[in-house]
Amino acid sequence: MARIFVSHSKHDVTVVNFFTRAFATSKNAVKADFMEFEDLEGKYAGREIAQRITNPETQAVFVLLGPGVRSALHTENWVTFEVGVASGVGKDVWVFEHLVDNIEFPVPYLNHYVMYQTDNIAYLQFIRNMIDAYSIFPLFRNTIIFGHKPSHIKCIRCNAEYFLHTPIEQFPCPCCRTQLRPAVDTGLPVQT
């Protein structure tokens, strides 16, 4: 069974519910790991999280940037730790950020960046398709993930490289929070 570890704040209820719905309607039953510190029942959180992320069944980490991530230093540290573990073992790291509520929280490593809206069914369907892609062989997975031709971004400030899956004229680099415009700052055409 394929799994995706979901790095999030429990205080971002709307965001968590949106992604829970995307996983629940997945056609291929990809399991989401929404871990809460309180649910560990006396286990050492660092070891348990690292084991779940490095587990061969875990195919990716989804980072859900919402206002709750910034509300507690505790949460910020855990999100950073989870991204670090995933990058250390070569798992895909997706950063999801709401189109309207940009969160000033740099994520130092990622492969994919998606800006979305929780009240838009098209984004729910897109995210569900990305979830389902992780249930198939990696070669075929890439045809789904890259099928809509995301923009390859290289930030002019921090040199981070990732794929932007949202056609947008301006966005904050998820690594350094510099405002970028694909047509100007990356040499790529703006998708409209």
Q: What percent of the chain has pLDDT over 90?
A: 73
Position 75 confidence tier, pLDDT thresholds 50, 70, 90:
confident
Is the predicted pLDDT of residue 92 greater than 90, yes or no? Answer: yes
Give the pTM: 0.91
**Comparison of pLDDT for 41 and 65, the residue scoring more:** 65
For tokens 């400030």, the residue is 157
Q: Determine the 3-state secondary structure of 149 from DSSP.
A: coil
Asked whether the predicted pLDDT for residue 186 surpasses 70, the reply is: no
**Cβ(93)–Cβ(61) below 8 Å:** yes
Binned at pLDDT 50, 70 and 90, residue 129 comes out as very high
Q: Which of 95, 96, 86, 22 is nearest to 55 (CA)?
A: 86
- Mean pLDDT on 40-64: 91
Counting beta carbons within 10 angstroms of the beta carbon of residue 162, is it exposed (0 to 12), middle (13 to 18) or buried (19 or more)?
buried
Domain range for 140 is 3-185
Instruction: Name 145's Cβ contacts closer than 8 Å, sequence gap at least 6.
Output: 112, 130, 133
Q: Is the pLDDT of residue 14 over 50?
A: yes
Higher pLDDT, 96 or 27: 96
Residue 28: inside a domain: yes
Q: What DSSP string runs through 83-129?
A: HHHHHHTT-EEEEEEESS-------S--SEEEEE-TT-HHHHHHHHH
Confirm whether 192 is domain-assigned: no
Number of domains in the chain: 1
Q: What is the model's pLDDT at position 183?
A: 58
**Domain at 47, CATH number:** 3.40.50
Q: H or E element: which one contains 63?
A: strand 58-65
Question: Is 27 inside any structural domain?
Answer: yes
In the predicted model, what is the mean pLDDT of residues 2-13?
94
Check residue 191 and give its pLDDT: 38
Q: Residue written as tokens 């855990």? A: 78
Residues 192, 142, 63, 124, CA torsion sign: positive
pLDDT exceeds 80 at position 189: no
Sign of the CA dihedral 189, 110, 118, 65?
Answer: negative
Residue 11 lies in a domain: yes
Q: Assign 38 a pLDDT band (cuts: 50, 70, 90).
A: low
At 37, is the pLDDT very low, low, confident or very high (cuts 50, 70, 90)? low
Q: What are the tokens at 118?
A: 């929780």
pLDDT per position as a tens digit, 142-157: 999 999 999 999 999 9
